[in-house]
DNA sequence: GCCAACGTTGGC
DNA sequence: GCCAACGTTGGC
């Protein structure tokens, strides 16, 4: 799950412990949030548009997909007039802080780990802010760093 | 700040 | 349904 650290970083989540992952306004990412997440699932926190960009920690899904209430609030920057209580359009999950890695796993680092050649985030033009990670990919990364 | 890649919109 | 124009993402 990607976020620009200037907007919300792993340090913010460490302080807050738990937060809603609101504001996703892309249909493909929305479908993942709505359909694919389960409570208790583990996710990588990825800093995008950063120096460097990369994976900075782990989160747990504290609440699976439910309507993104910011889309229903006309005062909110993520307001979408096309959404409604009856037809919410946009979804979010709640995430809980697990750990911050001692060092960022940068994109360059990821490219050097065997077994990640097909990983979504390493593909050219991969912009999706919510992406599936295969269990083998997750294990490869964790094993590589001894986590 | 540049720009490639991708998503969305809207005229036809 | 096609596709050009436009907007956004995100690495660099």
Using a 7 Å CB cutoff, list residues 126-145 of A near strand B.
126-127
What mean pLDDT do residues A91-98 have? 98
For chain A, how are helix, strand and coil distributed in percent, rounded to 5? 25, 30, 45
Write the pLDDT tens digit of every residue in A47-93.
999 999 999 999 999 999 999 999 999 888 899 988 999 889 999 99
Quick one: pLDDT at residue A77? 87
Average model confidence (pLDDT) across chain A: 95
Other C-beta atoms closer than 10 Å to the C-beta of A20 total 15
Protein-contacted positions of strand C (CB under 7 Å): 8-12
Length A50 CA → B1 C1' (Å): 15
The whole-model pTM stands at 0.94
Contact criterion met (CB below 8 Å) for A59 and A103: no
């Amino acid at each position: 799950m990607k976020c620009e650290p200037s907007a919300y970083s792993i340090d913010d989540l460490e302080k807050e412990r738990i937060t809603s992952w609101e504001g996703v306004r892309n249909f493909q990412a929305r479908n993942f949030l709505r359909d694919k997440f389960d409570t208790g699932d583990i996710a990588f926190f990825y800093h995008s548009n950063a120096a460097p960009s990369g994976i900075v920690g782990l989160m747990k899904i504290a609440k699976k997909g439910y309507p993104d209430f910011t889309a229903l609030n006309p005062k909110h920057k993520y307001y979408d007039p096309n959404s409604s209580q009856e037809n919410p359009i946009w979804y979010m999950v709640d995430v809980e802080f697990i750990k911050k890695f001692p060092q960022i796993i940068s994109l360059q680092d990821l490219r050097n780990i065997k077994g990640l050649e097909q990983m979504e985030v390493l593909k050219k033009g991969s912009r999706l802010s919510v992406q599936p990670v295969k269990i083998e990919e997750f294990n490869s990364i964790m094993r590589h760093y001894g986590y």
